[in-house]
Structure formats: C-alpha cells, structure tokens
Amino acid sequence: SVEENLRDPIDIRIDIIHLEPVATVALPAAAVVRTQSQHEEAIRGIQEQLLGVPIQEELTALRFRVDITEEYNALLRARI
C-alpha cells in the first residue's frame, strides 16, 4: 500500500566534482605587507585617539622605566 511505502528509507547519493577551483586569488607579498603596515598604523592612531595618550610616548616611558629597573637590579646583584 501507499502508506507502507512512505516509511521505507530512501538512499540518495550525490557525487560533487569540481573540475576547476572555485576561486583563485594571487596577491603579491609586497602588497600584503604594505596593506598590513597601513592597517597597523591606522589602528595605532585610532587607539591613541580613544585613549587620549600617544601610545608611542607611553611605550618609550615604559621602556625607560624597565631599563632603569634592570640597571638597578644589576647593581643590587653586583652588591650581593
């Protein structure tokens, strides 16, 4: 009967074959590096604006403090 056939499993199989690549993108490495550099610079500028503090100046100050701390630690080690 028709009702019995509705409960029978149906096996459906499909083979998909791509003969050619869907998309090929080739970018010169120099263009990628240049774009990345530009994005980093733009992001740094946005961060500086959001923070209201120039990041480069803050990094320089932190490096100076680290240098002083390292020199002080070296002096303490020399005394011990």
Q: Please indicate, yes or no, if residue 65 is contained in any of the structural domains.
A: yes
78: in domain = yes
Q: Is the pLDDT of residue 58 over 70?
A: yes
**Residue 15 falls within a domain, yes or no?**
no
Q: What is the pLDDT of residues 6-18, one digit of tens each?
A: 666 777 787 777 6
> pTM here?
0.34
Q: Is residue 47 part of a domain?
A: no
For residue 10, tell me if it sits in a domain.
no
pLDDT at residue 80, as a whole number: 79
Q: Please report whether residue 57 resides in a domain.
A: yes
Domain count, the chain: 1
Cα torsion 29, 35, 37, 43 to 10°: value is -150
Range of the domain at 74: 53-80
Residue 77 lies in a domain: yes
Which pair of structure tokens corresponds to residue 66?
């680290």
